[in-house]
A = this chain, B = another copy of it.
Amino acid sequence: MFELHKTADSTKARLGTLTTDHGKIETPIFMPVGTLGTVKAVKQDELLEKVKAQIILGNTYHLYLRPGCDIIESAGGLHSFIEWDQPILTDSGGYQIFSLSDNRELSEEGAEFQSHIDGSKHMFTPENVVDIQRTLGSDIMMILDECPPYPCSYEYSKESMELTHRWEKRGRDAFLNTEPKYGHQQFQFGIVQGGTFEDLRIESAKYITDLDFEGIAIGGLSVGEPTDLMYEMTDLNTDYLPEEKPRYLMGVGKPANLLHAIARGVDMFDCVLPTRNARNGQIFTQNGYINIRNAKWKNHHKPLDPNFPTDICSKYKMSYIHHLFRNNELLGLQLSSLHNLTFYLWLMEEVKERIAEDTFHDWYKEKAEILDTKI
């Protein structure tokens, strides 16, 4: 399913192709997040034609609660329900149980939780999140894990990692003993944990590698730890992961974070940041990011960057976009969301070109610094 084409000389950056029954994904790749089966404020045809998204995410926790598995199953699966004929990855819901739900209770069996919507009680186990994702029919499903907070003691991190490992073994077995429902193949990715402790990260990488998932995610990062520590743990993890499997750094991040993580051997990313921040007026550009709500744009009657092919950069005056945001007009959210995702996918194309040309090493640090600067 994954073909590694190249590893860069002076960094660990890689070029690869991930092949699913819904299409190929050229890595490194960013995956727009469509929590409830919609990437907020962006239409499916725009995702395909303008953003050039190759794969999007759905959230198991959210979709399980709303609209529910019965609806999605009777609609013919998630691809059919949302009319997206390209690859979909679904997370396991583990992260949402810990970040959103009330009164969650962890046991060896799984995680019991109350819905954040109506307080109803539910149980996720390593086995039933496989079943749920069989029903969703995602091309890539994630294993159930526990994602501990940061900071976190060594002892808790170790115990949590060990529970996650037992869950991952059970989840892998459940996956191998069940079949897809809609005629297309599904893959399962494991998740490395271990907090911010080197020995645990190494132990986890080895354990998860042995379970022979189709791909491996680095979990438990981007949860509040310093950025350098996130890079350090990522770097350590990829040293212990097999070359021939795709690596996915979950929940990351800013454009600069992506470049640094790619240099450390990561192939796949997802994050709500480009769309969530877009809705707050943060716009990414080739020369840094701006806040369009800032008064400095009120009288700026030129497009932001005529050389970047989105409506927000090359068509509309900054003053107009500023006006839309100051008046809470939906068009502002639509344009900024579409723009930021287009920017993220464009950045991945730039990265691929530079890895192919062996210029990534000389380029990425300076570029990351520029992209991380507020204009």
Contacts and interface: CB of A to CB of B under 8 A. Distances in A.
Interface of A: 36-38, 40-43, 45, 66-67, 71, 74-76, 80-83, 298-299, 301, 311, 315-317, 319-320, 323-324, 326-327, 329-331, 333-335
A225 to B, nearest CB: 32
Contacts of A299: 71, 74
A323 B37 CA distance: 9
A75 B319 contact: yes
A301 B76 contact: yes
A324 B40 CA distance: 10
A66 B327 contact: yes
A333 B38 CA distance: 12
A40 B331 contact: yes
A165 to B, nearest CB: 35
Contact of A329 (B38, B319, B331, B334): B38
Nearest to A82: B320
Contacts of A36: 323-324, 327, 329
A311 B48 CA distance: 15
Contact of A326 (B66, B76, B311): B66
A317 B66 contact: no
A248 B71 CA distance: 46
Contacts of A319: 67, 71, 75, 81
Contacts of A335: 43
B323 A67 contact: yes
A37 B334 contact: no
B334 A330 contact: yes
A43 B43 CA distance: 12
B43 A324 contact: no
B320 A83 contact: yes
Contacts of A333: 330
A103 B331 CA distance: 31
A40 B41 CA distance: 13
Contact of A334 (B71, B80, B334): B334
A236 B163 CA distance: 80
A313 B228 CA distance: 50
Nearest to A45: B311
Contact of A71 (B67, B76, B298, B327): B298
A65 to B, nearest CB: 10
10 contacts: A36-B329, A37-B323, A38-B330, A40-B330, A42-B331, A71-B298, A71-B299, A74-B301, A75-B319, A330-B333
B334 A81 contact: no
Contacts of A316: 83
A211 to B, nearest CB: 34
A263 B369 CA distance: 65
A324 B326 CA distance: 25
Contact of A43 (B80, B81, B334): B334
Nearest to A40: B330
A76 to B, nearest CB: 7
Nearest to A62: B327
Contacts of A326: 66-67
Interface centre among A74, A333, A334 (most CB of B within 10 A): A334
Identify the interface centre among A80, A298, A317, A326: most chain B CB within 10 Å of its CB: A317
A71 B323 contact: yes
A331 B38 contact: yes
